[in-house]
Structure 1
Amino acid sequence: MFFTYLRRELRRRRKAALVVASGLALGIALVIIVSSVSSGMSKAQDKVLESLYGLGTDMTVTKAAAAPGSGGDERPRFEFDAKDDEDETQSTDRVMVQGFQTLAATTVDKVGKQDGVADAVGGLSLTVMKVDGQFRRGEFKQDQSSGQGGQGGPGGGQGGGNGQPQGRVEGGGASFDVNSFTVYGTDVTQQGLGPLTSSKITKGRTFKATETDAKVAVVDSAYAKEKELAVGKTVTISGTKYSIVGVSTADSGDAAANVYIPLKQAQTVADSKDKVTTVYVQASDSQAIDTVKAAIQKNISGTTVTTSADLADTVSGSLSTASDLASSVGKWLSIAVLVAAFLVAGLLTSSAVSRRVREFGTLKALGWKSGRVTRQVVGEALVNGLMGGVLGIAVGLAGAYIVTAVSPTLTAQLGSTGGGRGGMGGPMGGGGPGRQTASKTLDIALTAPVSLTTILVAVGLAVAGGLIAGAFGGWRASRLRPADALRRVA
């Protein structure tokens, strides 16, 4: 009887049911779209962070910045020998630790033993500056007036005290090119963490665990294309040739470094034995990152710990702006629309009950209890809510699909968190690899993934909307008396 009456009344009041369902659908669809776009922006920011420190890195540990004026900064010096052959090209290079600050390699083990740390691996970030070119001798040209009537001897006149002709040197000078590239020393025994994990090997292979001190290298695809490098060729770092075994392509389009070599080799070419610039840390629980950070800072002095959340605060550009809008304006807008939809649904249901006074009064006169009438109204409202949920989910999925299909491009500018050295350090103050400037701009395509959780939330909202509307109408229906129906009988 309940379902028969329910089906008949919904069919008889199709327009009213459609209005209530449409209002709820609008609010639910907006919630789905805003939620999916926010999720897409969160993934875009994670992608930006992965391009810096690799997949799975929750925080990095670097050496604490030196106090101003306490030294620690180094300036690269390039020395050239005098050559008799002026056509001979001279070349020299300098391998420098990015940020000019290092930690002892034992710091990696200390960090790994802290509570809440699942894994820790060290890396050494280097910049190689290569200078090559030629010196050209100048040409001596004698003055036309010199040597004519000049007086030699001490205190003499215009010819010079030693009787040598007077003149000047013209031309000459030097022409040198300065090239630089970044090198990252990776622990080949632990390749599941660190910057190289943000790239995929597209040609050749990655490092073998046994190549801890081998002269092998993996180069970034963009750098390989620029320098015409390939698997099987060699790349020279400070006079040492490294055989290229693989070419990697960064997932975000921006590699952490131009060249990757085993950590021991990086320490050798940089004259930084048993040193690292950065310790990459993965927490055992993502909810305990702040606790792990505090423990590392307390137990390991002279270090700076930066979490992915800290780094995310330095991301600016249209990605950051759009993310703020989605999390603030979009969230409150969706809540406001949803609340309005619930209120409208409730008021419309209550109004519909008011127009059915004769019907419900008659049913009560026939023996229906107030509870049965209330359940009937709530049932109708709940079906309207579920209809609105289905329609809202369909519209929300369509909106999310359109955003993903269009894939608007957002820019993310990575700013320094302070502590960098003349633009040579990484975004975390000299620890990160491959950043030669204080900021870096990336282009990220926005997607709007819809998770199962979002769908379940939408269903819950649909049920809640139906119950709220039913509560309005049920309360109104429970207050009706049979006399009200008899009074309206013509």
Structure 2
Amino acid sequence: MFGIYLKRELGRRKKAALVIALGLALGIALVITVNSVSAGMTQAQDKVLKSLYGLGTDMTVTKARTAPTSGSSGGPNFKFDAKSSSGSTQSSDRVQTQGGQALKSTLVTKVAAQKGVESAVGALSLNVTKVNGSFTQGKAQSSSGSSNSGGGGQGQPGGGTSTGQPQVQGGGANFNVNSYSVAGVDVAHQGLGPLASMKITSGKTFTSAQTGTKAAVVSKSYAKEKKYKVGSTFKISGTKFTVIGIATPDSSESDTDVFIPLKLAQTLGDAKNQVTTIYVKAADSKQISTVKKEITSNISGTTVTTSADLASTVSGSLSTASSLATSVGKWLSIAVLVAAFLVAALLTSSAVSRRVREFGTLKALGWPSRNVTRQVVGESMVNGLFGGALGIALGVGAAYVVTAISPKLTAQVGSTTGGGGGMGGGPGGGGPGQQASQNTLEIALTAPVSLTTIALAVGLAVTGGLIAGAMGGWRASRMRPADALRSVS
């Protein structure tokens, strides 16, 4: 009986039901769209952090570089043997650690033993400056001239020729300078560290047994610049490396050009048993701040930087759009949703007022007030669910359009620390210690719709139906049979 009556009454009031459902649908669709775009912003920011930070990395441990002592110079210096042959090419590599001050490798084990740490891996960041070219020896030439005067000159009766001092002409130097970044990675634990955010697109990566193998993985951009391919060879300070793989960053750009085994990097950088960055993964992602305090208190002199610290430095259109979606978008969604609920409640209450004769007659026939209330709430719930289904369809459609368009957003990572190693410890880490111009990334925005968002939409639809039904049902339950008789003309 209830279902038949419900179906008949909804069929008689299609326009009113449609208006109520549309109002709820618009509010729900806006909530879905804003939540989906906000989720896309979060994913975009995660892509930025992972590409700079390393996939799976929750925090890094570094140490700020100390100021140079008086009289010392940290600038590049190159020494060449004197070679007179202009056809001989001379070359020299300068390899130095980059990022923060070097840490002892034993600290990696100590960090891994801290409470709340799942794993820790050390990496060494190097900067290689290669200078090669040749000198050209100049030639000494004498300048001569003659003078013929009728009366002759002093010391030169009758005229003659004078010869000046020999002068060196020609010669010089022609050298090329190539600077690139190298990351020494722990080949036994590649799931954490600078190589974790890279995807091998050609060749292969290291095996756990290649700790001392003179093999290298190079980034796609650097390989293109140098025309490297799998099997190509190059030298660093006289050590010959073979390219075994070409890697592409999972997102954005990588600051590291070459990846080599950690032990070889330590040898090249004269940093035996040292690392510049310790990558840390927490056992529980919700306890990162607690783990940070644990490491800071137990290992003095180090700087612990979490993904949250780096996230606060992300600027550009990504940050602006994220702020708008978080603040303006959510408040706008709430305002529209509240308005939709109120409109649905007022329309339902107004519809009850126009059904005085109907409800009064039902009460005169013996319907209790609870049955009348149930009838009104039932109609409102159906309107709410219909509005929710329509709102979900509109919201998912809007999210799909955003994903299809994929607007481009830029993200810049500024500096959060003074001059020490940043996130990732220099090249490969893309840390805050680097200039923002070196970390300008372009991210495609998506709007993923999660099951949680759909569940939220269903909950809002049910809530809207209950609010409208409660208001209309309360008014209907107060009607008396006499009201129906008075309405008869």
TM-score normalised by structure 2 residue count: 0.91
Letter in 2 for 1:392: G
SS in 2 for 1:463: helix
Seen in structure 2, the aligned counterparts of structure 1 residues 328 and 213 have a Cα distance that, compared at 3 Å, is same
Residue aligned with 1:99, SS: coil
- Which stretches in structure 1 are left out of the alignment for 5+ residues? 152-163
Instruction: Supply the RMSD in Å over aligned alpha carbons.
Output: 2.5
> Counterparts of 1:8 and 1:471 in 2: how far apart (Å)?
21
Relative to structure 1, is the Cα distance of residues 100 and 364 closer, same or farther in structure 2, using a 3 angstrom cutoff? closer
CA distance in 2, matches of 1:218, 1:44: 26
Q: CA deviation at 1:64?
A: 3.3
Query: Which residue in the other structure is 1:266 paired with?
Result: 265
For the pair 1:64 / 2:61, whether they are aligned, the reply is no
**Match of residue 193 from structure 2:** 194
Return the letter of the residue paired with 1:180: S
- What does 1:193-272 align with in structure 2 at a 5 Å threshold? 193-272=192-271
Farther off after superposition, 226-235 or 181-190 = 226-235
- Residue number in structure 2 paired with 1:47: 47
Aligned position for 2:379 = 380
1:32-431 map, 5 Å: 32-66=32-66, 74-99=74-99, 101-140=101-140, 142=142, 165-166=164-165, 169-420=168-419, 426-427=422-423, 430=426
Find the partner of 2:435 among 434, 438, 459.
438
User: What is the CA distance between 1:387 and its match in structure 2?
Assistant: 0.3
Partner amino acid, structure 1, of 2:21: A
Q: Find the aligned partners of 1:420 and 1:126 in 2 and give their Cα distance.
A: 16
SS in 2 for 1:271: coil
The answer to whether the 8 A contact 2:134-2:173 is kept is yes
Q: Over residues 87-141 of structure 1, what are the superposed CA-to-partner deviations in whole Å (9 max), with x where a residue is unaligned?
A: 3222111111112511111111111111111111111111111011223344545
What is the match of residue 157 of structure 1?
A: none
Summarize the Cα distance change of 1:271–1:68 in structure 2 as closer, same or farther, 3 Å threshold: closer
How many positions carry a matched residue from both structures?
476
Which residues in structure 2 correspond to 1:446-461 (within 5 Å)? 446-461=445-460
Q: Which residue of 2 aligns with 1:161?
A: none
Report the alpha carbon displacement of residue 63 of structure 1 after superposing the two structures with TM. 0.9
| Structure 2, unaligned runs of 5 or more | 156-162
- What per-residue deviation string (whole Å, max 9, x for no partner) do you get for residues 356-394 of structure 1? 111111111111111111111111111100000000000
Structure 1 letter corresponding to 2:132: D
How far is the alpha carbon of 1:429 from its aligned partner? 6.2
Q: Deviations over 1:416-435 (max 9, x none)?
A: 323336xxx65566475467
Shift in CA distance, 328/470, structure 1 to aligned 2, threshold 3 Å: same
Aligned 8 A contact 1:98 1:426 in 2: no
Aligned-partner Cα distance in 2 for 1:473–1:459: 21
Q: Structure 1 67/169 Cα, relative in aligned 2: closer, same or farther at 3 Å?
A: closer
- Aligned AA (1:368): W
C-alpha contact (below 8 Å) 2:63/2:301 kept by paired residues:
yes
Whether contact under 8 Å (2:97, 2:127) holds in the other structure is yes
**Match of 1:3?**
3
Aligned-pair distance for 1:53?
Answer: 2.3
> Residue 213 of structure 2: SS of its match in structure 1?
coil
The CA distance in 2 between the partners of 1:356 and 1:123, in whole Å, is: 76
- CA distance in 2: counterparts of 1:437 and 1:300, whole angstroms: 25
Q: For 1:214, what is the secondary structure of its paired residue?
A: coil
Given the superposition, is the C-alpha separation of residues 208 and 24 from structure 1 closer, same or farther in structure 2, using an over 3 Å criterion? same
CA 1:255/1:398 → structure 2, altered by over 3 Å: closer, same or farther? Answer: same
Are the equivalent residues in 1 in contact too, given 2:254–2:428 (CA < 8 A)? no
CA 104–427 in structure 1, closer or farther in 2 if over 3 Å, else same: same
SS at match of 2:122: strand
**C-alpha offsets along residues 20-62 of structure 1, whole Å, 9 cap, x if unaligned?**
0000000111111111111111111111111112211111111
* TM-score when normalising by structure 1: 0.91
Aligned to 2:159: none
In the alignment, structure 1 residue 29 sits paired with structure 2 residue 29: yes
2:277/2:424 contact within 8 Å kept = no
User: SS at the partner of 1:328?
Assistant: helix
- The whole-number CA distance in structure 1 between the counterparts of 2:72 and 2:423 is 19
What is the CA–CA distance in structure 1 between the aligned matches of 2:70 and 2:399, rounded to whole Å?
54
Report deviation, 1:489.
1.0
Change (3 A) 1:100 1:115: closer
Letter aligned with residue 32 of structure 1: I
Letter paired with 1:175: N
